[in-house]
Amino acid sequence: MSDDPILSVDDVQVSFPVGGLASRSAILGVAGVSFQVRPGETFALVGESGSGKTTLARAINGLQEISAGSITFEGGRIDRLGKREMKPIRKRMSMMFQDPVGSLSPRMTVGDLVTEPYRIHGSDGRDLRAETERLLSLVGLPANFASRYPHQLSGGQARRVGVARAIALDPALVIADEPTAGLDVSVQGEVLNLLNDLRERLGLAMVIITHNLHVVHHVADRTAVMYLGRFVEKGETEAMFSAPCHPYTAALLSANPEPDPDKVHDRITLPAEVPSLLSRPSGCEFHTRCPWAQETCKTVPPPPGDVTCHFPLAPGARPPELESAR
């Protein structure tokens, strides 16, 4: 396995026009983001709603135009490609969408759904019926599911069909947008196990987009946390979970209710609401919600780097008010 990145995202921005004719302006959904994914690696993009993670995923997949920066996939620039030039790329990079059932065409059978990529890109003489069976067995579904329709599937089964379709053409990279969204807890594990297993067997690289930190913990090698369209922290997943450096990461990690009624939560509560993208805060954009914020944070943007914070946290740091309460 070479160490050359399979995907390289460099300072990518995505802007959306807002307002009417009179007051036309643009907001930055993704405000300059860089990361690389190596072959066989799983990279996670974590963020809450509105953080720009799905927009970024769509930009990588060429479903969303970028306004600045560049995206390189398997050695070639893929941003600003036309539909026709993008088509061969789509054989190598597939995407799974959030809604397990809603991302499947409702009037197509499971058999037609999983072999749809062959119908688009040519089957190269493969026997589609055999191929259906192979793909269904790869994702752990019985062959007789081929004649079912999406509405006859449970969420977990539908998700498996989505996975089967995403790996049909043997891609090098799979982008999974919220792979466990809308699934029951007992099924979430199944889907994550399946993704882990396929990744090992097929040597896939993956980009997983999620708001759920637990998902990240078990599948991702590296993780980036997004806030208002920027990365606030990026690094090895294990390290980030054991010692988060950015206050936002620490708050996210502490906001996970555990099924233990006697657990003492010393939680980092974030005051205030998420600011609007229309009026980004000055200085460090997290300062309006940061329990540790200082005067500097309100005016000076944090230095670039893996942790964009003026005052990265020491391991186990507690917010000032909790600290003083002890």
**Among residue numbers 83 through 102, which ones bind another protein (CB under 8 A)?**
86-87, 90-91, 94-95, 97-99, 102
Tokens of 299: 């005016």
280 lies in the site for another protein, by CB under 8 A: no
Site map for another protein, 166-185, x if CB under 8 A?
Answer: ------------------xx
Tokens of 298: 């309100």
Site map for another protein, 41-80, x if CB under 8 A?
Answer: -------xx-----------xxx-----------------
257 lies in the site for another protein, by CB under 8 A: yes
Which residue in the set 120, 122, 294, 299 belongs to the binding site for another protein (CB under 8 A)?
120
Span from 11-19, 211-219, 297-305, 314-322 in contact with another protein (CB under 8 A):
211-219
CA atoms of 235 and 210, how far apart (whole Å): 16
Distance of closest approach, residue 259 Cβ to another protein, in angstroms = 4
Distance of closest approach, residue 145 Cβ to another protein, in angstroms = 7
Residue with smaller CB distance to another protein, 182 or 300:
182
Q: How far is CA 103 from CA 166, 212, 310, in A?
A: 12, 20, 41
Residue with smaller CB distance to another protein, 48 or 300:
48
82 lies in the site for another protein, by CB under 8 A: no
Residue with smaller CB distance to another protein, 25 or 147:
147
Site map for another protein, 219-238, x if CB under 8 A?
Answer: ------------------xx
Residue with smaller CB distance to another protein, 62 or 244:
62
Residue with smaller CB distance to another protein, 149 or 300:
149
Residue with smaller CB distance to another protein, 123 or 152:
152
Question: With contacts defined by CB under 8 A, how many residues of the chain interact with another protein?
Answer: 74
217 lies in the site for another protein, by CB under 8 A: yes
Span from 24-32, 125-133, 260-268, 308-316 in contact with another protein (CB under 8 A):
260-268
SS3 of the chain: the string is CCCCCCEEEEEEEEEEEECCCCCCEEEEEEEEEEEEECCCCEEEEECCCCCCHHHHHHHHCCCCCCCEEEEEECCEECCCCCHHHHHHHHHHEEEECCCCCCCCCCCCCHHHHHCHHHHHHCCCCCCHHHHHHHHHHHCCCCHHHHHCCHHHCCHHHHHHHHHHHHHCCCCCEEEEECCCCCCCHHHHHHHHHHHHHHHHHHCCEEEEEECCHHHHHHHCCEEEEEECCEEEEEEEHHHHHHCCCCHHHHHHHHCCCCCCCCCCCCCCCCCCCCCCHHHCCCCCCCCCCCCCCCHHHHHCCCCCCCECCCCCCCCCCCCHHHHHHC
132 lies in the site for another protein, by CB under 8 A: no
241 lies in the site for another protein, by CB under 8 A: yes
